[in-house]
Amino acid sequence: MTPSAPIAPIHPHTYTLHGQTITDDYFWLRDRQDPQVMDYLQAENGYTEAVLEPQQELREQLYQELKSRIKEDDSSPPAKSDNYYYYSRVESGKQYRIHCRKRDSLDTAEEILLDGNELAETLPYFSLGIFDISLNHEILAYSVDSDGSESYTIRFKNLVTGALFPEELPHTYYSSAWGNDNQTFYYAVLDDAQRPYRIYRHHLGTPVTADELLYEETDSQFFIGVSKSNDDRYIFLDVDGSITSEVHLLSADDPTAKFQCFAPRQRGIEYDIFHHEGYFYIHTNEDALNFRLLKTPVTTTARSAWEEVIPHDPECLLEGVEEFKTFWVIYERRLGLQFLRIWDLRSGEKHEIEVNDPTYSIYGAANYEYDTEIFRFAYSSMVLPTTVYDYDVRSRQKVIVKQDEVPGGYDPDLYASERLWATAEDGQRVPISLVYAKSVPRDGSAPLYLTGYGAYGISSNAYFSSLRLSLLERGFVYAIAHIRGGSDLGRSWYESGKFLHKKNTFTDFIACAEHLIAQGYTTTGMVAISGGSAGGLLMGAAVNLRPDLFRAAIADVPFVDVLNTMLDDTLPLTQLEFDEWGNPQDEVYFNYIQSYSPYDNVTSQAYPHLLVTAGLNDPRVTYWEPAKWVAKLRRLKTDQNLLLLKTNMDAGHGGSSGRYERLKEEALEFTFLLRVFGMATV
């Protein structure tokens, strides 16, 4: 017997703005103290389980399959810091990582610094925030979020005796820095809206009430955090808005120092700094859309003293610089691909680390030592498991430190990876990364899994996933759309997918699906799409615009109630994100956001099969956004396709915290997909 879907009651809530009267029938779902709200969420969870109950055996099989492809007993490659080698490991059957070190050599006895499994034992949710060890390697500062709200409590552990210090620092953000005296500690505190707004200095062993407030950010459009320079000379305070930033600094040697502003903020100007051998280096977009690098002596921070080191390149995004004593690693992005360029400061020579795949990810790994000639990086492609290398910047030789193992065997020669270009409706060329089994026919009969994000300037890099093999082995083509709103093709790619250009993100995504259909990888109605958070906004917009194109959509913690959220400045991210989406108090932005906001544009039409997830304690995309969207869809859609809402009642934005619980969430999504594609056989 088919279970009955929950029907959320309508309680109209109206407001008037810019001469328009807006009615929100499901505004009441915001009140989590209302028992009716909890009853509704639980009813939706029960409905999801009941609908998928016939596939329970498949779901368990998928879970076991996914689990069989991860190495349950595994360890990260040890990374050297002074006389210690730091690493973390996981044990079979345990959910969380165990953080360890060895002294002097890898042959000495292991010292367990922190066992996440022990910390999580009595908690419904566990997330480790900071893991910050003092300069003398004797004190560990760590923080824990116990409900997914991203509010952390910091504790201190004496690594010599194993004892915990009595003080606890509550309601903190995940950034921190140690002073060089190994007693002074800098940390960020959240306000009532979950925004990091204050920086305090704590002296180990003293009451938290005595902590010194060093900085308070009163502008709600900015988040703040602290970090330490790679050479351990300075503590940096970063003040970041969506399009504007400011840095303050103080000496890490002086436990009484006050923060000094490096360069006052100017709207639209972003910058960050690092210190190297008597100079501050400024990575900035000032007069440089794709960023450039400047320098100034530590004796003056006046803009008039800044000298150019790496000029602006309109064809290359300068993503950042990682500094070491005798070389730098320059992070660049050209034509949507990442490049690591080594600058040997002794010889002045520059060279790139070689890559071979058509689409890939490459990034710095654990590099704890400043005075070294070895750079550790990780490389992954859609067919190559993540491989960690130690790279000698002098000899240009690289040594594999570790390659992720796929238990049960994996043959990359059975798979092919490509990079294609779709043409958007305005003529822009949009890159697509894809992978598939070589046995899959190119006659349009294959199902396609297409994902995308397209927001905040975040680029979507191609990477390997052993979990993805469960789809590839069943004949799916897997593709990533590198759409506008990200910085995949440089900063202009981001600028042309935000504010009053946001719809380019959605039409780019649709163009990618249409291109893959035209090239014979799949056909209309055989496409599943997936995205989370701002990528969930993409899912909502795509199914409103072209529901005929897709068979199914998975929207994880989707940002779908854009207009109402951006009108509520009590939420953590709203004011910060006025420079991403626009402020709807301005009528121009109000009308534009209203024209694409998925919740506001649900209409009476047939929709694809939909699986929607939420986290009850999510501070980024509140649970009521997906809940309201599903309620409205259920009332208005004209089809008989599945519409499922799964709310994690013990988690936040990232879903379940334990690695096995996350596999169960993945198995649920794969079960949904295989069912709606008629492939739900055990």
Catalytic residues: 533, 618, 653
Q: Which whole-number Å values give the CA distances from 467 to 69, 95, 410, 646, in the listed order?
A: 7, 17, 12, 21
Distance CA 450, CA 174 (A): 32
One-letter amino acid for residue 78 of the chain: P
Axis crossing angle, helix 503-518 with helix 534-545, rounded to the nearest 10: 70
The tokens describing 264, both together, are 């006052």
What is the DSSP-derived secondary structure letter of residue 4?
P
Longest CA span, the chain: 77
Taking a C-beta distance cutoff of 8 angstroms, is the pair 642, 609 a contact? yes
| Straight-line distance from the first to the last Cα atom of the chain, in angstroms, rounded to the nearest whole number | 21
Taking a C-beta distance cutoff of 8 angstroms, is the pair 398, 392 a contact? yes
Give the list of residues 6+ apart from residue 503 with CB closer than 8 angstroms, or none.
541, 595, 596
What sign does the CA torsion over 71, 674, 464, 498 have?
Answer: negative
Adjacency order of strands within the sheet including 196-203: 127-133, 139-145, 152-158, 169-178, 184-190, 196-203, 212-216
Distance CA 313, CA 240 (A): 24
Distance CA 682, CA 678 (A): 12
Distance CA 33, CA 45 (A): 18
Phi, psi of 221 (to 5 degrees): -85, 5
Give the angle subtended at the CA of 479 by the CAs of 477 and 483, to the nearest 5°: 160
Q: Which whole-number Å values give the CA distances from 647 to 49, 555, 629, 632, in the listed order?
A: 12, 12, 13, 17
The tokens describing 290, both together, are 């794709």
The tokens describing 488, both together, are 């995949």
Give the list of residues 6+ apart from residue 214 with CB closer than 8 angstroms, or none.
186, 199, 200, 201, 237, 258, 259
Q: Which whole-number Å values give the CA distances from 603 to 168, 225, 420, 544, 600, in the listed order?
A: 50, 42, 33, 8, 9
Give the list of residues 6+ apart from residue 361 with CB closer than 8 angstroms, or none.
338, 378, 379, 380, 381, 461, 462, 463
Element containing residue 314 per DSSP (H, E): none
**For the purposes of burial, counting CB atoms within 10 Å of the CB of 101, is it exposed (0-12), middle (13-18) or buried (19 or more)?**
buried
Phi, psi of 595 (to 5 degrees): -75, -15
The tokens describing 309, both together, are 């080191």
